[in-house]
A and B are shown apart, each in its own frame.
Chain A
Amino acid sequence: MSSIKLKAKADGDTVEVKALMTHPMETGQRKDKKTGELVPAHFISEIVVTAGDKTVMTANWGASVSKNPYLAFNYAGKAGDKVKLTWKDNKGETDSAETDAA
């Protein structure tokens, strides 16, 4: 299962994109309660959202975005647009999700 919940809601000529991603978003400054050692930084550093062949949003993030991060924005589009979100984290892991704007 993808770690991303993605919604794309079309209202006239605007599409509202909302996404929730499952990710620890570790800052690298938090100590593990049991071992007392620093938990290494692990966070989503880049998100790209495309609608069809257009890139509608690129987000660059640091580690102070919250755990299980949220992203929302609107773009000029329409119902039926193929909306795809891809994230990459600082460890090189990646995931993506796709939905049709409705």
Chain B
Amino acid sequence: PRMVLADGSAFDAKTLDDTLKAMAITPEESGDVKIKAPEIAENGAVVPVTVTGPEGTTELSILVENNPNPLAATFILGEGAKPEASTRIKMGKTSNVIALAKVGDKTLSAKQEVKVTIGGCGG
């Protein structure tokens, strides 16, 4: 698991910059990486996220920029795994959710804002 173990502290890093440093990567934004997440979270404690990478992806990661520890999950694709993974994450407040896909020696990224709101009201 190179992406994570570049430096074992990636999960403990407290900022996005430090996390990327600990992972020893410099991601490039790419339309080939997709995030499926709600625009507005129904429940900040359970935010469903699906990340998809292009053909040739070997690892996928989910980061939450404004969480105390941005790195939430890394998925190392095994034999025959499709380049897509889904899980659910905690978000304390509105934040960009970032998807990373490792393809060869490159790391591609995409982001989407997920709003965590107080709720109420309606039409």
- Decide whether A and B are members of one complex: yes
Chain A positions within 8 Å of B, measured between CB atoms, are 14, 25, 27, 29, 49, 51, 54-67, 69-77
Once the chains are docked, how many angstroms separate the CA of A6 from the CA of B79?
19
Instruction: Give Cα A65–Cα B63 distance, bound, in whole angstroms.
Output: 11
Q: CB distance A59 to B80 under 8 Å?
A: no
Whether B90 pairs with A64 at a CB distance below 8 angstroms is yes
Q: Contact between B85 and A60 (Cβ–Cβ < 8 Å)?
A: no
Contact between B74 and A70, CB atoms less than 8 A apart: no
Whether A70 pairs with B88 at a CB distance below 8 angstroms is: yes
Tally of contact residues, B, Cβ under 8 A: 32
- A75–B72 touching, CB < 8 Å: no
Q: Are B46 and A73 in contact (CB under 8 A)?
A: no
**B1 nearest in chain A by CB position:** A60
**B33 CB within 8 Å of chain A:** no
Instruction: For A66, list chain B residues within 8 Å (CB).
Output: 45-47, 87-90
A67 to B78, CA, bound (A): 25
Contact partner of B85 (CB less than 8 A), chosen from A27, A51, A67, A73, is A73
Smallest distance from the beta carbon of A61 to chain B beta carbons, Å? 5
- Residues in chain A near residue B68, CB distance under 8 A: 27, 29, 64
Beyond A61-B73, A62-B11, is A56–B80 a contact (Cβ under 8 Å)? Answer: yes
Contact B67 A64 (CB under 8 A): yes
Q: Check B1–A58 contact: CB distance below 8 A.
A: yes
Contacts of A55 in B (CB 8 A): 78-79
For residue B64, CB closer than 8 A to chain A, the reply is: yes
Q: What's the minimum C-beta distance from A15 to chain B, rounded to whole angstroms?
A: 9
Among candidates B45, B48, B81, B88, residue contacting A57 with C-beta atoms closer than 8 Å: B81
The contact of A64 among B77, B79, B89, by CB within 8 Å, is B89
A60/B73 in contact, CB under 8 A: yes
> What is the minimal beta-carbon distance from A2 to any residue of chain B, in angstroms?
19
- CB-nearest residue of chain B relative to A70? B88
Greatest chain B CB density within 10 A among A14, A49, A59 is at A59
